[in-house]
Amino acid sequence: MNEATVQDWTESQVLLTFDNHREVKYRVYRDGGRHFQEIRELDGAPIHTLELPNGMKLEKSSYEVLLRFVLLEIAAR
């Protein structure tokens, strides 16, 4: 595996619905030519890993948007 860190672990409090939030941490890394966002609970338990679309690479604000999307649409199921 040829993995390189793009953004190291970042803690984030994500607003899910009015007065409801979730605290998680995430990192962004590159493996070969592909970029991934890995999301975990604060205790390190895995939530989801998402391959990033080409247009969202290296945009921190995009990582935050995807983080909220994953927590609302994927992890909540």
What mean pLDDT is reported for the chain? 83
For residues 35 and 52, is the Cβ–Cβ distance under 8 A?
A: yes
The count of domains in the chain is: 1
Q: Which domain holds residue 42?
A: 3-74
- pLDDT band (50, 70, 90) for residue 59: low
pLDDT tens digit string along 26-57?
Answer: 999 999 889 899 999 999 999 999 898 776 66
Q: Rounded to an integer, what distance in angstroms lies between the CA atom of residue 66 and that of residue 63? A: 5
As a whole number of Å, the CA-based R_g of the chain is: 12
Q: Rounded to an integer, what distance in angstroms lies between the CA atom of residue 35 and that of residue 3? A: 9
The proportion of the chain whose per-residue pLDDT surpasses 90, expressed as a percent, equals 36
Instruction: Record the pTM.
Output: 0.80
